[in-house]
Amino acid sequence: MRKQLKLCRSAYGDLGYATTDPPRRPQSALDPAPNTQGTHIPSPPPPPSGTPDGAFRLDTGLLGPLLVPSGANRAAELEALSARAAVYATRARGPGTLRAYRSAWHGYEAWCRSLGREPLDGDPDTVAMYVTKRADHGLAVSSLRVALAAIRTAHLLAGLPLDLRQPRFAMVLEGVVRSRGTRPRRQATPAVPDLLRRMLGALPSPAASLGVRNRAMLLIGFGAALRRSELVALQLGDVEAVAGRGIKLLVRRSKTDQHGRGQEVAVWANPAEPLLCPAAALDAWLRLRATAPDLAPALSAAERGARPLFCTVTKSGRLTGEALSDKAVARLVKQAAGAAGLDPALFSGHSLRAGLATAAGDAGAGLADLMRQTRHTSTEVALGYLRPADLWRNNVTEGLFGTITDGKE
């Protein structure tokens, strides 16, 4: 791989790019730390106080403050862009995307300033050098694409052109992709039913408030194949018990439904195994949830329905009525995995969703049925959960080697 990247850098130099790094100096707080996992670029301190002559400070909710070179004479126009940026920040991207964009932009900004370059210079050569540097440090291709999206967005908000289709830049990016590949490095371990049973068995007592809530969260997150943001966003009015069947949930907004059209998901009950029954777990939690202080009798039905389904619980078992953050789901899954004797590092908030999809694939679910439950919009992503089972289903070697064995006998 290093040889391939070296060849990529060689081609990079032939195209007129500088391939040597600046003289080594002691690492400062402005240096983006190498990241071999490719999941996060640490946010550096803000740029030096004060605005350079002729520059304009554009405050954006999406990426933070941007210093636009030679922007002072466009102050009115840029102020209007700043107002539009606030709309982008709150409506055009989900919270997770916002965090990723800000982190990626801060990393690029710090790198540029450490070399004396202007982050918003609209120069594809600068971006190409950054891509090469971060690829050398092990950043995954998917994270590089997030960084490019953040850099492009920053220029868009500042009203500055940046052509990332420029042939030399495109050649460098293609070289990086070919050298490093696009296969994910590590995926969360799916919490398939056998593992989920172990995790549920390790929860606090079913009689304890925390145990009741956590059981409902794990089972509903698994059964409805929810992303962690979707699980904590559920409201009391979004769940409905359906007699003789199970429960129906409304996912108001999701990663693939940013405009909030909403999608309904059904989860069957499991009366044969009460401790692994989403409907029973939800019923137990709703009885407890009704005692929380945020559900005063004076509230209207609409007001009660708008309160969060899952809320925080104190160590003493008292319900607060306050909504959970999506990080609480990841902590819950990891804690439950650790308590069950599993390696928490292999699990994440995505394990519940992946567990349902993987189990459905193993059970022979069709692509359309799986996508209806997981609400995937990409068939390629959904097929990724079916392929492991399909490798063995109707595999030609089963009959081939079985026939050879029979012949020898």
Closest among 166, 134, 172 to 13, alpha carbons compared = 172
286 vs 59, which has greater pLDDT? 286
What's the pLDDT score for residue 260?
Answer: 63
Quick one: DSSP state of residue 257? B
The encoded tokens of residue 243 equal 């007699």
Instruction: State pLDDT tens for residues 175-198.
Output: 888 876 655 556 788 999 999 999
Residue 294 has pLDDT above 90, yes or no: yes
* SS3 (DSSP) at 260: coil
Give, for 57, the enclosing helix (H) or strand (E): strand 56-60
SS3 23: coil
What are the domain boundaries of the chain?
2-180, 193-390
Listing DSSP states for 35-50 in one string gives: -SS-S--PPPPPPPSS
At 25 the pLDDT is 38
If you average pLDDT over residues 327-334, what whole number do you get? Answer: 95
pLDDT digits (tens, 9 = 90+) for 125-160: 899 999 898 888 888 888 888 999 999 988 887 878
Report how far residue 111's alpha carbon sits from residue 308's, in angstroms, rounded to the nearest whole number.
Answer: 41
Q: pTM for this one?
A: 0.63
pLDDT by residue (tens digit) across 351-368? 999 999 889 888 888 888
Query: Does residue 252 carry a pLDDT above 80?
Result: yes
Q: What is the pLDDT of residue 405?
A: 55
pLDDT band at residue 387 under the 50/70/90 scheme: low
- Give the pair of three-digit tokens for residue 340: 């069950």
Residue 45 is predicted with a pLDDT of 46
More confident site: 255 or 183: 255
Rounded average pLDDT over 319-345: 94
For residue 117, with 0-12 CB atoms within 10 Å meaning exposed, 13-18 middle and 19 or more buried, which class applies? middle
287 close to 209: Cβ distance less than 8 angstroms: no
pLDDT-wise least confident of 12-21, 34-43, 215-224 = 12-21
Q: For 82-95, write each residue's pLDDT tens digit.
A: 666 555 554 555 66
pLDDT of residue 395: 76
Going 161 to 63 to 330 to 222, the CA torsion angle's sign is: negative
Q: Of all helices (H) and strands (E), which one includes residue 167?
A: helix 167-180
Name the percent of the chain lying above pLDDT 70: 72
pLDDT for the residue 87: 56
Higher pLDDT, 223 or 385: 223
Mean pLDDT to the nearest integer, 338-357: 93
**Residue 218, number of CB atoms within 10 A of its CB:** 26
Q: Does 47 have pLDDT greater than 50?
A: no
Dihedral sign of CA atoms 199, 205, 207, 213 in order: negative
**Predicted confidence band of residue 9 (pLDDT cuts 50, 70, 90):** very low
Residue 42 makes CB contacts below 8 A (sequence gap 6+) with 32, 33, 103, 106, 107
- Do the domains spanning 2-180 and 193-390 agree at the CATH topology level? no
Q: If you average pLDDT over residues 310-318, what whole number do you get?
A: 93
pLDDT at 62: 62
Output helix, strand, coil percentages for the chain, rounded to the nearest 5. 50, 10, 40
Q: Pairing relation of β-strands 56-60 and 263-268?
A: unpaired
* Residue with more model confidence, 5 or 311: 311
Reference 226, options 117, 376, 112; nearest CA is 376
**CATH superfamily, region 193-390:** Intergrase catalytic core (1.10.443.10)
Instruction: Look at residues 124, 182, 135, 164 and name the one whose alpha carbon lies nearest to residue 8.
Output: 135
| CATH classification number, 2-180, choose in 3.30.565.10, 1.20.1260.10, 1.10.150.130, 3.40.50.300 | 1.10.150.130
∠ CA 119-125-128, rounded to 5°: 90
Asked if the model's pLDDT at residue 383 lies above 90, the reply is: no
Q: How far is CA 190 from the centre of its chain?
A: 16
The confidence score (pLDDT) of residue 38 equals: 40
Average pLDDT over every residue of 307-322: 94
As given in the structure block, the two tokens for residue 311 are 């809320």
Q: What's the CA gap between 139 and 148, in Å, rounded?
A: 13
Torsion of CA 125, 120, 102, 235, to 10 degrees: -110
Query: pLDDT tens-digit profile of 77-124?
Result: 666 666 665 555 545 556 677 888 889 999 999 999 998 888 988 888
Query: Alpha-carbon dihedral of residues 118, 121, 123, 126, nearest 10 degrees?
Result: 10
Give me the chain's average pLDDT, please.
79
Q: Which residues contact 247 (CB under 8 A, 6 or more apart)?
A: 220, 239, 240, 241, 266, 267, 269, 278, 279, 282
pLDDT at 60: 65
Cα separation values, 344 from 140, 149, 199, 226, 347, Å? 23, 32, 11, 20, 5
The per-residue pLDDT for 16 is 36
User: What pLDDT does residue 318 have?
Assistant: 93
Cβ count within 10 A of residue 294? 16
